[in-house]
């Protein structure tokens, strides 16, 4: 069998970078998407190549349909990724009363439009080959709701629903679709969160690491997860059960 490819979006840092690195360690070649942080993407690429995996950098904005297709279509004509990890996303936190139209639309567009556009581009090849794994990175915020994150909670809750619906559509073709739902993870996204207020809410009394999230993704991409689809795997220290 040809060496398998994993496409990871939003992978120049944080959780996405950790996922790309562990999949390279497991023998995947990487298509590493990011929007604009070329320096960070090059660092991840160098780390991946130290594992003897190949890494192709794909700079494009997943919320831009034209940009997404212009990059992916020529590649997909020749090769189909075995794994797609939809990780791209960002927060723009504030109470809804102060949220404007762009604050709402931009967060939903990256998470939901990005999922739709990238997944639609690769899924035809997966269905034709009758194999594939799609893992969507969601959030505890999309399961429980979070004050100050109406836009982000809506986006991630929508992605959870899309995960389950798509899993039902494609299971008979051996394409497995699951989600991993991180809680409070040590990344840039939580740098402004007051730890002293949040830690008492977490039964394990600590934040998680990107590597702990990546471990769940690694499992879902493995042969050991061959009968798992439509599931939401929480990596949250018990903050939401």
DSSP helix/strand/coil, 211: helix
Total residues belonging to the chain? 241
Q: In whole angstroms, what is the distance from residue 16 CA to residue 37 CA?
A: 13
Which positions ≥6 away from 196 have C-beta within 8 Å? none
> Which pair of structure tokens corresponds to residue 173?
């073709």
DSSP single-letter state for residue 173 = G
DSSP helix/strand/coil, 189: helix
Cα–Cα distance list, 234 to 61, 137, 139 (Å): 27, 10, 8
> Which pair of structure tokens corresponds to residue 190?
């939580």
220 burial (CB, 10 Å; 0-12 / 13-18 / 19+) is buried
Q: Is residue 82 annotated as part of the catalytic site, yes or no?
A: no
- Catalytic one among 34, 152, 227, 240? 152
End-to-end Cα distance, the chain: 40
Nearest one of 191, 198, 110 to 146, comparing CA atoms: 198
User: Which residues are catalytic, by number?
Assistant: 152
């Amino acid at each position: 069998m040809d060496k398998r490819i994993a496409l990871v979006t939003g992978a120049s840092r944080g959780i996405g970078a950790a996922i790309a690195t562990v999949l390279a360690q497991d023998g995947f070649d990487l298509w590493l998407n990011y929007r604009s942080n070329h320096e960070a993407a090059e660092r991840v690429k160098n780390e991946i190549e130290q594992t003897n995996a190949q890494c192709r950098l794909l700079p494009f904005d997943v919320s831009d349909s034209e940009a997404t297709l212009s990059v992916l279509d020529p590649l997909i004509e020749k090769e189909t990724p075995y794994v797609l990890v939809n990780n791209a996303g960002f927060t723009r936190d504030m109470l809804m009363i102060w949220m404007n139209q762009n604050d709402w639309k931009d967060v939903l567009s990256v998470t939901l439009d990005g999922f739709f556009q990238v997944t639609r581009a690769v899924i035809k090849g997966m269905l034709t080959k009758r194999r594939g794994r799609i893992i969507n990175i969601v959030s505890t915020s999309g399961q429980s709701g979070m004050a100050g994150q109406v836009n982000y909670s809506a986006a991630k809750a929508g992605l959870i629903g899309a995960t389950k619906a798509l899993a039902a559509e494609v299971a008979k073709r051996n394409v497995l679709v699951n989600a991993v739902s991180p809680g409070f993870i040590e990344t840039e996204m939580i740098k402004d969160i007051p730890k002293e207020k949040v830690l008492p809410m977490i039964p394990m009394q600590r934040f998680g690491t990107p590597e702990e999230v990546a471990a769940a993704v690694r499992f879902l991409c493995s042969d050991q997860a061959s009968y798992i689809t439509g599931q939401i795997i929480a990596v949250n220290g018990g903050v939401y059960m």
